[in-house]
């Protein structure tokens, strides 16, 4: 499998507030689309619902969009291509997307 590096183009962009994390992500996945899907699933956040308040509009999750997050294949690096799909960095998010 390939190793993909996803980087937000502008970490200060307000559209990133729909994400629990706004830094570089390294993912092992078969292709770019799957890498973006894994990032989207793992890094999404639900808005808090307070009784009696209007339901908030859910902003877009930026990891799926090329104009918000760059995604490039890493050919050489410290991560091995062998293995199953995984979030390699930051590793604390790897178990979240599997639920």
Strand ranges, E, within the chain: 2-8, 25-29, 69-74, 86-89
Closest alpha carbon to 29 in 65, 78, 79: 79
Instruction: Please state the pTM of the whole predicted model.
Output: 0.82
Average pLDDT, the chain: 84
Res. 74: pLDDT tops 60: yes
Per-position b or e across 72-89, b if 16+ CB within 10 A of its CB? eebeeeebeeeeebbbbb
Q: Cβ distance 4 to 37 under 8 Å?
A: no
Q: Cβ distance 35 to 87 under 8 Å?
A: no
- Percent above pLDDT 70 for the chain: 80
Res. 56: pLDDT tops 60: no
What's the pLDDT score for residue 33? 96
Res. 76: pLDDT tops 70: yes
């Amino acid at each position: 499998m390939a190793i993909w590096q996803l980087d937000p183009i502008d970490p200060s962009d307000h559209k990133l507030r729909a994400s629990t994390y706004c830094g570089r992500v390294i993912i092992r996945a078969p292709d770019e689309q799957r890498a973006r899907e894994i990032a989207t699933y793992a890094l999404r956040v639900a808005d808090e619902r307070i009784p009696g308040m209007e339901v908030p509009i859910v902003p877009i999750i930026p990891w799926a969009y090329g104009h918000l997050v760059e995604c490039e294949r890493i050919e050489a690096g410290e991560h091995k291509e062998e293995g199953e799909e995984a979030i390699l960095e930051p590793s604390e998010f790897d178990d979240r997307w599997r639920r």
